[in-house]
Amino acid sequence: MARRRLNKQQKSRIQKMETQDHWLKGQIVARFGKSCELKIESGELHAQIPGKFQGNTPVEDLTVGDWVYYDPETNIVEALCDRKTQLVRYRRATTLTTKQSQHQCIESVHQARGKVVAANITQLCIVIAPRPFVDTLTIDEYLLAAHMQGFTPLLVSNKSDIPEAGSIEYKAYIEAYEALGYQLIRTSASELQGDHALKEQLQSHTSVFMGTSGVGKSSLLNMLIGRDIAATGGISEGAALGKHTTTTARLYSLPSGGEVIDSPGIREFKLATAEPFDLYEAYADLYAGERCQFANCTHREEPRCAVKNAVEQGKAHQWRYDNYLAFYSSLVEGKLEPKPVK
């Protein structure tokens, strides 16, 4: 594996870090401007965020989920550890993450001028329900995001207590995703069903819950955390009268193991862009084992296309292909330009 070349500032930052034995490593639980709540081995504490880090790492991007070095003598966060992943929010498109180094990540975010809203997430929990019904394009977009960012996708079909959950249509719809190989857990937040399976699946991950408003994300989070951390019952999250809104993203350590980052800004999202390669990977089910005539086939107008053949012959789902085409024109052909978030 190629070694990353460090610049002078990074070297000095690392040298400095190595000499500071008394620094502690902690994870940011919540950030409030110039201060944050930090989780360290012995518990949680409030720490200050300086104007600038060693090595000129910009502090404005420091976010919930980040691992940092903290000086207990001065109560100041001194350095940011490399991120594994990051979620970035744009005005009309949330999430772009990379598995690059922290410095490359920050650079790419600055180029696109988005806002990092959470770091080091490993699992994307996509919550769906029979009511409000969530269309496949929306689900596929979350799944595509998970593929692109290297997150484990987990489908959570909530409200299994309501009659529509037993309908032939709804069952066929969620079973189609299971047949595609996605892991799906059936839950009822109100009847406390499926909680064991869900807890087990969250144990070894830092997860985020995403999905359309009203499917039960807050209810599930309250169930998992064992207390009311998020108000439930909103039709439009936050806008509903009487529903208190959590404006700060927060990392919760689950009593059953694992962590969840909850942020109003990342519960619902839109992707900004995708590369053709991202789509090919996320839609591998469209190939049905055949090869297209052209190695660089985009599976749209090309002759002797294995994907189109598979769809025509019923070996692949028409709706998956339609979603693929929709994403190709919107995300690959660049009609959605990320806009900065103010």
Residue ranges binding Zn ion (CB under 5 A): 292, 297, 299, 305, 307
> Residue 64 binds which one of Zn ion, ligand GDP, none, with CB within 5 to 8 A depending on kind?
none
- Ranges of H-type helices in the chain: 8-19, 102-112, 136-149, 168-179, 195-202, 217-225, 276-282, 306-312, 318-327
CA–CA dist 131, 50 (Å, integer): 46
Q: Which residues bind to ligand GDP, rule: CB under 6 A?
A: 158-159, 161-162, 188-190, 211, 213-219, 232-234, 237
Least Å distance between CB 313 and Zn ion?
14
Name the residue nearer to ligand GDP (CB basis): 114 or 234.
Answer: 234
Contact yes or no for 251/27 (Cβ under 8 A): yes
Least Å distance between CB 262 and ligand GDP?
10
Name the residue nearer to ligand GDP (CB basis): 224 or 305.
Answer: 224
Name the residue nearer to Zn ion (CB basis): 90 or 283.
Answer: 283
Name the residue nearer to ligand GDP (CB basis): 159 or 270.
Answer: 159
> Residue 162 binds which one of Zn ion, ligand GDP, none, with CB within 5 to 8 A depending on kind?
ligand GDP
> Residue 226 binds which one of ligand GDP, Zn ion, none, with CB within 5 to 8 A depending on kind?
none
Nearest CA among 77, 79, 68 for reference residue 14: 79
CA–CA dist 178, 174 (Å, integer): 7
Contact yes or no for 222/246 (Cβ under 8 A): no
> Residue 305 binds which one of Zn ion, ligand GDP, none, with CB within 5 to 8 A depending on kind?
Zn ion
Least Å distance between CB 217 and ligand GDP?
4
CA–CA dist 340, 342 (Å, integer): 6
Question: Cα separations (Å) of 96 from 142, 263, 310?
Answer: 12, 16, 31
